[in-house]
Structure 1
Amino acid sequence: MAPIRTAIVGLSASAITSWASSAHLPYLLSARGRAKYTIVALCNSSVDAAKRAIATYKLAPETRAYGDPQALADDEDIDLVVCCTRVDVHHQTILPSVKAGKSVFVEWPLAQDVAHAQELVAAADASGSRSLVGLQGRVSPAVAQLRQLLHQRRIGKVLSSEVKAFGGSLDRQLLSSGLKYFTDLDVGGNIVTIGFGHCEIWGPATPPQSRSTDNCAYSHVLGDLTDVRARLQLQRPEVKLRDASTGQVTDWTRSDVPDLVIAIGVLTASDIAQEGATVLVSFRRGQPFLRSPGLVWTVNGEKGEIRLVAQGGPTLHSSTYTEPVTLEVHDFQSDTVEPVGWSWDEWQTELPINGRSIATLYDLFAEGKADGAVPSIEDALARHVQLEKLLQTWPRSR
């Protein structure tokens, strides 16, 4: 099969440590990636900006440069458009390509709100556009191993689960000046939608227009929650802004985004979960208690308990793995604890950690396993609906 002709939107020459360059590009330029994909175009804020990026990343000289999403969509020699821009321009950037029927890979969040996400889904339904979304925690190896333990009935049916997570930003009081938009709820990219959204534990009981309910790491493992109740709090509204190049605090801003989310719900009965099983998740922005892990996830069952500990935090699809991620099973009958190993596939180890789960999504998509195997924009819409309902309980006027 010929490689999928791919265009990237948002690969910037001035941001060589961006998510596009650190998580997407390594796979696409690897031997494995080149066998399945070929980069044929870039689209940036201008044609000149795209040309600079082509030169910076030493892409093929015939790579086409675009400065307009519609011009990109009109190029009939492009099969897949990858959108790695800031979330509040995802919609306007990718909509022309969706309407043109091209396949799209959109980073999470899909859009700044439910209304814009719905328009993208409607356009994809009309054009037949195939899609995948960067909710890649579901394909991370530690998560896959945990899910396997549950389906092997190592602890019997699930009775309850608890998640205690910290992160969303490196510091509880500071943000890089380039991430100031994290403090503006209307932009749509913040620690609730990105940080909590990537580690949220439930899938919708009846996802709207969705082909798959298991669209993020924890819901993929445990299943759907009902009767979800949440408490949101803004503990530190004044946020200092730090210059990324000097490390110095240069300004401050006032946030209207919650920095603490606590949610509780009941698992839908399933092959692995008992009816009425309770799930509790706590997500707080910034660092945990000194020298404590950034994520502790326990799953309590009839015969035992599983504990996943990630020292680096809750993003089980990316840089969390720069520090130890461990799995253990406590068997109640023998009262012993057994470590459970997990590993990356050999080909993944050749890639930077941030790009390994993204690479798995690309692999699955190239193999034609879009429906259900990878999260789609329909799945992303379901996640947006959940988060919007949660955020509607947040009183923004203070």
Structure 2
Amino acid sequence: MPSASSPAASGSSIGVGIIGLSTSGGWAAASHLPALRALEGFDIRALSTSNPDSARRAGEQYGVPLAFGSAKELAESPDVDLVVVSVKAPDHYTNVMAALNAGKMVLSEWPLGKNAAETRELAETAEAKGVRTFVGLQARTAPHVQYLRDLIADGYVGDVLSTTLVGSGHAYGDTVDQSNIYLLDPANGATLLTIPFGHTIDALTMVLGEFTDLDARAVTRRTTVRVAQTGEEVAMRAADQIAVQGVLESGAVVSAHYRGGLSRGTNFLWEINGTEGDIQITGPNGHLQVGPITLHGARGESSELAELPLPAAYELPALANARTSPAYSVGHAYAGIREDLSQGTHRIADFTHAHHRQQLFDRIEAAAKRD
């Protein structure tokens, strides 16, 4: 059951503090801010950036009353119930730990840590302190993915025989934005494997089950890429081709391939083939956590795929106009957080799940190194 001190349990608004909401925009401004403002039950009370001056400017720009120059100050504020960590992956550990040490609930962007050791320590610390945690694997709460899960569970395709996935990772192509150079170094933990592939494979396993066996390839085909703003060539140290084959708990066979950049052809295609039918999921890029996606299916005597419209029950009316926005999936995740806190459930992925998912990526990397 929820704690008696939980704002959601008492029906009051959850006071949110966002670490990383800056005047330069970015993910927090594009997703967390509009998502929270579209929903009832949340009150954005604070933000923090790297210094007091930038925090003050951000507070004025976004109309957030409390602006702090450090994560520690934000986490220790009595006005903040839920700390949202929306900074670059290499900085997650320090900021998340500040929230945990302050005894606050925390939502961290994915990946939780930049490596297995950080992820494990954060999960163990949260458990030891008894703090509710959430991790930004919002593809699994996206309405179309929830609908897909239910279609499979209800037997739309019968027994799943196999699933095939191909996606483009966009940011890991032949050019890189100056602000994203850190993505090219695997030591930072924000790679093609962990981000676009990671979000998608997490959703795949939620829908179809976990891997029991797998083999993998992780290859760097472009050894250098060009910085968009300057034309400078910089080293690509992370793999820009990820290929995984394996078997799921059900016995279904998986073939998944992610490539850096964008294709002139297919940028996201996921097919699920079963004894009674087939489902095809398509989208504009391989970032399933952002979307938007469309489902098509056919079963029984039907020989041609037809669109499977999203039933209204899966979508929050407050977010219905944001289907093409990053706020769409994030907003549905926040709605799940509110429900978890008010009802004492654990539907939204937490730090323990993040550690579990990191272990899958470790298995993939280990398999790729065997060859």
* Pairing 1:55-204 to 2, within 5 Å after superposition: 55-59=60-64, 63-169=65-171, 172-200=173-201
Return the letter of the residue paired with 2:347.
Answer: A
Q: Does 1:359 align with 2:360?
A: no
Whole-Å separation in 2 of the counterparts to 1:45 and 1:394: 38
SS state at 1:387 partner:
helix
How high is the TM-score relative to the length of structure 2?
0.90
Return the letter of the residue paired with 1:111.
Answer: G
Whole-Å separation in 2 of the counterparts to 1:150 and 1:119: 35
Please report how far the alpha carbon of residue 336 of structure 1 lies from its aligned counterpart in structure 2 after TM superposition: 4.0
Q: Does 1:43 align with 2:43?
A: no
Which deviates the most, 105-114 or 69-78? 69-78
Partner of 2:248: 267
Indicate conservation of the 8 Å contact 1:303/1:333, yes or no.
no
Partner of 1:207: none
Partner of 2:306: 338
Q: Does 1:380 align with 2:360?
A: no
Return the letter of the residue paired with 2:310.
Answer: W
Please report how far the alpha carbon of residue 388 of structure 1 lies from its aligned counterpart in structure 2 after TM superposition: 2.5
Indicate conservation of the 8 Å contact 1:12/1:50, yes or no.
yes
Partner of 1:273: none
For the structure 1 residues 43 and 370, does the alpha-carbon distance in structure 2 shift closer, same or farther, using more than 3 Å as the test? farther
Indicate conservation of the 8 Å contact 2:244/2:364, yes or no.
no
Q: Does 1:29 align with 2:37?
A: yes
Indicate conservation of the 8 Å contact 2:243/2:257, yes or no.
yes
Whole-Å separation in 2 of the counterparts to 1:334 and 1:42: 53
SS state at 1:365 partner:
helix
Aligned to 1:300, which of 262, 273, 280?
A: 273
Whole-Å separation in 2 of the counterparts to 1:143 and 1:277: 19
Q: Does 1:19 align with 2:20?
A: no
Whole-Å separation in 2 of the counterparts to 1:81 and 1:130: 11
Please report how far the alpha carbon of residue 370 of structure 1 lies from its aligned counterpart in structure 2 after TM superposition: 6.8
For the structure 1 residues 183 and 337, does the alpha-carbon distance in structure 2 shift closer, same or farther, using more than 3 Å as the test? closer
Please report how far the alpha carbon of residue 393 of structure 1 lies from its aligned counterpart in structure 2 after TM superposition: 4.7
Indicate conservation of the 8 Å contact 1:100/1:127, yes or no.
no
Indicate conservation of the 8 Å contact 2:220/2:239, yes or no.
yes
Return the letter of the residue paired with 1:253.
Answer: V
Please report how far the alpha carbon of residue 314 of structure 1 lies from its aligned counterpart in structure 2 after TM superposition: 2.2
Whole-Å separation in 2 of the counterparts to 1:370 and 1:263: 36
Return the letter of the residue paired with 2:288.
Answer: L
Whole-Å separation in 2 of the counterparts to 1:335 and 1:188: 44
Structure 2 unpaired stretches of 5+: 1-10
Q: Does 1:280 align with 2:255?
A: yes
Return the letter of the residue paired with 1:45.
Answer: S
SS state at 2:331 partner:
helix
Indicate conservation of the 8 Å contact 1:110/1:377, yes or no.
yes
Partner of 1:213: none
Return the letter of the residue paired with 1:375.
Answer: A
Whole-Å separation in 2 of the counterparts to 1:71 and 1:266: 47
Please report how far the alpha carbon of residue 67 of structure 1 lies from its aligned counterpart in structure 2 after TM superposition: 1.8
Partner of 1:349: 320
Return the letter of the residue paired with 2:241.
Answer: L
SS state at 1:122 partner:
helix
How high is the TM-score relative to the length of structure 1?
0.84
SS state at 1:191 partner:
coil
CA shift digits 1:158-179 (9 cap, x unpaired): 011111111242x721011110
Please report how far the alpha carbon of residue 296 of structure 1 lies from its aligned counterpart in structure 2 after TM superposition: 1.1
Whole-Å separation in 2 of the counterparts to 1:68 and 1:96: 10
Please report how far the alpha carbon of residue 57 of structure 1 lies from its aligned counterpart in structure 2 after TM superposition: 1.2
Whole-Å separation in 2 of the counterparts to 1:336 and 1:350: 30
Return the letter of the residue paired with 2:242.
Answer: V
Partner of 2:3: none
For the structure 1 residues 302 and 386, does the alpha-carbon distance in structure 2 shift closer, same or farther, using more than 3 Å as the test? same
Return the letter of the residue paired with 1:107.
Answer: E
SS state at 2:15 partner:
strand
Return the letter of the residue paired with 2:196.
Answer: G
Please report how far the alpha carbon of residue 340 of structure 1 lies from its aligned counterpart in structure 2 after TM superposition: 1.2
Please report how far the alpha carbon of residue 47 of structure 1 lies from its aligned counterpart in structure 2 after TM superposition: 1.5
Aligned to 1:250, which of 221, 231, 250?
A: 231
Aligned to 1:3, which of 4, 13, 35?
A: 13
Whole-Å separation in 2 of the counterparts to 1:84 and 1:111: 13
The 4+ residue runs of structure 1 with deviation greater than 4 A are none
For the structure 1 residues 51 and 150, does the alpha-carbon distance in structure 2 shift closer, same or farther, using more than 3 Å as the test? same
Structure 1 unpaired stretches of 5+: 201-215, 244-248, 270-275
Please report how far the alpha carbon of residue 390 of structure 1 lies from its aligned counterpart in structure 2 after TM superposition: 2.1
Whole-Å separation in 1 of the counterparts to 2:357 and 2:238: 18
Please report how far the alpha carbon of residue 183 of structure 1 lies from its aligned counterpart in structure 2 after TM superposition: 0.9
